[in-house]
């Protein structure tokens, strides 16, 4: 079957082959050719269930998509001081629950249907994982490091949109943050997970970025003894520099050890600040020059990347 598909693709070109499968407009010559008709059906595109179960032996991954064919969503963020819900525009058609098959042609699900799919299908691009890439086993964490990509990310085949999915069942997501810490270089990089408000992909992912030197210097000057390794504590010295008043709240782990409870700590933060705008919360990890590892939540308008990632 794979051979037939290759030959068909070579003979007709991709778009005709797609039409043949009924996925595009129909071409008469495909029907008229008895050799092709009813035989070489191209492999289907991987669906969400196949990706989340790593059951991908007979499907192919989508190319990158742009925009979204169905009307994109305005996802509600949180009420402003007048009680009006604000919205964040997304290239997806559902705001909660991760990527569904109906969103396969949406840019905001490209991380799931294209990047993660490619990674699971091509282990040479996906050679750092928290477990084997094997169908119907439990979910794993993976490092997405496609050759030529301008940034590496970590993600998982557990289908969840992002940060607010992590704290109610924190074990798996605490492990995800640990996995991410095994993928970055703390001497020069930081980790960051965007808020609901600013993220552009609706599949959980952590950015591995060059660290922000201003934050590196700022945290290096903080006294770690004013913090603990369990709870996110308000950094009272942090300048509210986006003009609207924003907070960062951190826990710290000493001696270069990994943070093991970052998703759990987010749940404790929400319990302590029940009125916080959850859709503005982002999370990030950065190690200072004394090898203290700072794990922080932010509620800045533009998310944590601008604060923890540099250029
Ligand atoms: C996903 O694809 C598999 C294999 O083609 C199919 O059996 C399954 O029904 C599909 N799932 C959905 C939800 O369409
Ligand atoms: C949505 O898709 C369009 C078209 O590719 C793109 O220009 C825009 O930046 C995307 N918006 C978001 C929020 O991802
Ligand atoms: C999203 O919001 C924009 C700007 O407020 C509006 O023009 C657009 O119609 C909205 N789209 C949907 C699908 O609600
Ligand atoms: C992992 O993938 C990279 C390319 O992304 C490659 O250079 C490297 O050799 C691979 N390592 C292993 C152990 O396969
Ligand atoms: C991504 O990760 C790979 C494998 O660890 C590494 O070789 C590559 O330099 C990284 N890319 C970036 C942009 O950091
Ligand atoms: C972060 O945002 C500012 C302003 O938008 C609020 O004043 C803070 O209360 C808020 N901090 C938390 C923890 O919710």
Cα of 201 vs centre of ligand 2, distance in Å, is: 10
Q: Which ligand places an atom closest to the C-alpha of 90?
A: 2
Closest ligand 5 atom to the C-alpha of 152? 1
In whole angstroms, how far apart are CA 103 and each of 118, 203, 264?
A: 17, 12, 30
CATH class of 122-308: alpha beta
Domain ranges in the chain?
Answer: 122-308
Residue 6 has pLDDT above 70, yes or no: no
In whole angstroms, how far apart are CA 254 and each of 81, 141, 293, 294?
A: 39, 25, 6, 9
| Tokens describing residue 306 | 């601008």
Distance CA 282, CA 195 (A): 4
| pLDDT single digits (tens) 255-297 | 999 999 999 999 999 999 999 999 999 999 999 999 999 999 9
37-41, 145-149, 224-228: range with lowest mean pLDDT: 37-41
- Number of C-beta neighbours around residue 234 at 10 A: 15
pTM: 0.85
> Using CA of residue 123, residue 125, residue 131, residue 133, what is the dihedral sign?
negative
The residues lining ligand 5, judged by C-beta closer than 6 Å to any ligand atom, are: 145, 151-152
Cα of 93 vs centre of ligand 6, distance in Å, is: 29
Residue 37 has pLDDT above 70, yes or no: no
Between 11 and 291, residue with greater pLDDT: 291
């Amino acid at each position: 079957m794979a051979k037939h598909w290759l030959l068909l693709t070579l003979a007709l070109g991709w778009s005709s082959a797609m039409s043949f499968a009924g996925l595009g407009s129909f071409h008469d010559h495909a029907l008229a050719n008895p050799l092709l008709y009813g035989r070489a059906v191209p492999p289907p595109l991987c669906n969400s269930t196949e990706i989340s179960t790593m059951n991908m032996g007979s499907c192919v991954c989508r190319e990158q998509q742009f925009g979204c064919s169905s009307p994109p969503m305005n996802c509600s963020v949180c009420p402003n001081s007048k009680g009006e819900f604000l919205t964040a525009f997304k290239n997806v058609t559902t705001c909660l629950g991760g990527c569904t098959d109906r969103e396969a042609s949406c840019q905001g699900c490209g991380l799931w249907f294209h990047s993660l799919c490619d990674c699971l299908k091509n282990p040479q691009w996906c050679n750092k994982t928290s477990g084997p890439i094997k169908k119907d086993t439990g979910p794993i964490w993976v490092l997405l490091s496609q050759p030529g990509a301008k940034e590496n990310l970590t993600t998982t085949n557990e289908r969840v949109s992002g940060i607010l999915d992590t704290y109610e069942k924190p074990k798996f997501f605490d492990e995800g943050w640990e996995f991410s810490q095994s993928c970055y270089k703390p001497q020069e990089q930081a980790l960051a997970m965007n808020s609901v408000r600013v993220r552009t992909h609706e599949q959980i992912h952590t950015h591995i970025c060059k660290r922000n030197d201003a934050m590196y210097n700022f945290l290096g000057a903080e006294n770690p003894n004013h913090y603990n390794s369990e709870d996110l504590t308000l950094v009272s010295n942090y300048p509210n520099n986006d003009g609207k008043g924003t907070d960062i709240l951190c826990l710290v782990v000493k001696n270069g050890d990994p943070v093991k409870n970052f998703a759990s700590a987010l749940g404790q933060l929400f319990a302590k600040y029940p009125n916080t705008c959850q859709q503005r919360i982002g999370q990030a990890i950065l190690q200072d020059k004394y090898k203290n590892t700072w794990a922080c939540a932010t509620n800045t308008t533009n998310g944590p990347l601008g604060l923890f990632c540099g250029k």
